[in-house]
Structures are given as structure tokens and as C-alpha cells.
Amino acid sequence: MSNVAYELKAEARAQVGKGSARELRRNGLIPAVIYGDKKDPVSIALSRNEVTKKIHAGGFMTTLATIDVNGTKYQVLPKDYQLDPVRDFLMHVDFLRVSKNTLVTVEIPVHFENEEKSPGIKRGGVLNIVRHTVECHCPANDIPEAITIDLTGLEIGDGIHISHVTLPEGVHPTITDRDFTIATVAAPAGLKSDDNAAAGEEADEDDSEE
């Protein structure tokens, strides 16, 4: 289920504001905030290198973390982070304080398996991915690493909708008013061209008969 949790060391921040944030960044740190769970927010400073490594490792937004702030430990889930628009380095992170009863909204990545067992793909069909992630409500301590979809038996023209997916207990898509599409097996470009040509020939024949 949820990815393996990790721990980060942090320092409490007594001062906030742009001047303080710039000073932190000059020293290889970034400002961050822990909020939620009906408690006061906690302003902290983290190692930019350590957090950047976690982001690049993947699954950052769906992995629980423990942040040790001067000996006090908080269980959190990253909710947002900001990058410098020009230099692309990490500027700030927001963490949501969580407990075993906390429900969170996260984007869960979609993985596909058994492409070789799809007759449509074997005939040259193309897997057209409509959604690379699905937004879901789920328990903070039980976030799925991914939604895995089996392509076995799918033909050209078949679609995969959320109703075809068995989600873990307690996990629900945020979109509930329609059976949205996650992916389709589309016809290859050559087949589309052949179909269009055939349709054009049929139209010409109909015109000549009139």
C-alpha cells in the first residue's frame, strides 16, 4: 500500500517572512510549514538537498513522512511544494499533519500490465492513456502506491473506465458523477487511414448510384 515512510530532521523557525526565507536558502535550507489536525501551524527549516532527493525519488506526494523538529516528531504527508520558476530549485514545502483517522485527497498514479496479452495491442493498436493519475480520497496511513490495470483481452476500440477498476477498501475516486475513462486501445494510424479510405469509396459509390 502506501510507500515506505521516511524521516527528516528539521529546525523550528522563530522568524518568518521573505528576509528569513532568503537567509535559509543561502544556507542550504528551505522554509516549510506543518499544518492541520486542528492544531497551530509549525514553521520549520529543512535541508534542501534532502527534500529534493525525496522528490526526485518519486512518490513524494503520496508517501508519509516523520519530521523530527528538535526532538518532537510529527507524522505528515506532503501537500504542496514550490520551485523557483527560473532556476527550478526547491523553494518551500507544505506538510499536512496526519493521524490514523485522517482522510486525504491524493493523485494516485496509474500503472498498466499485460500489454502483450491484449489482442488489440498485438494487432498494432495503441494504448491511449487519458489519465496518468486518478484523484482519490483515502486514509492517510493506507495510500495505494498505484492503481494497476490489467490489459488482458482488450481489443481495438475498448475503453477502460473507473468502474472496471477494483480500488482498495476505503479508497474512493473524487469524481463520482460519471464513469470516467482512464485509457482506450485506439486503432493505429494506418488502420484509421484505411478505414477513412474505405468510407470514402463507399460514399463515391453511393453518389454514382444516385
Read off the pTM: 0.73
CA distance 190 to 194: 6
pLDDT for 86 equals 87
Which residue(s) pair with 95 in the sheet? 34, 78
Please name the amino acid found at residue 33: V
Counting DSSP H helices and E strands in the chain, the numbers are 4, 13
Domains, the chain, in order of start with CATH, read 6-99 (2.40.240.10), 104-206 (2.170.120.20)
pLDDT for 25 equals 84
Burial-class residue 196 by CB neighbours within 10 Å (0-12, 13-18, 19+). exposed
Query: Across residues 150-156, what is the average pLDDT?
Result: 96
The answer to whether residues 114 and 72 touch, using CB atoms and an 8 Å cutoff, is no
- Kindly report, residue by residue over 36-70, the tens digit of the pLDDT: 888 899 999 999 999 999 999 988 999 999 999 99
pLDDT at 161 over 80: yes
Query: Across residues 93-114, what is the average pLDDT?
Result: 92
- Kindly report, residue by residue over 179-204, the tens digit of the pLDDT: 999 999 999 876 654 444 444 444 44
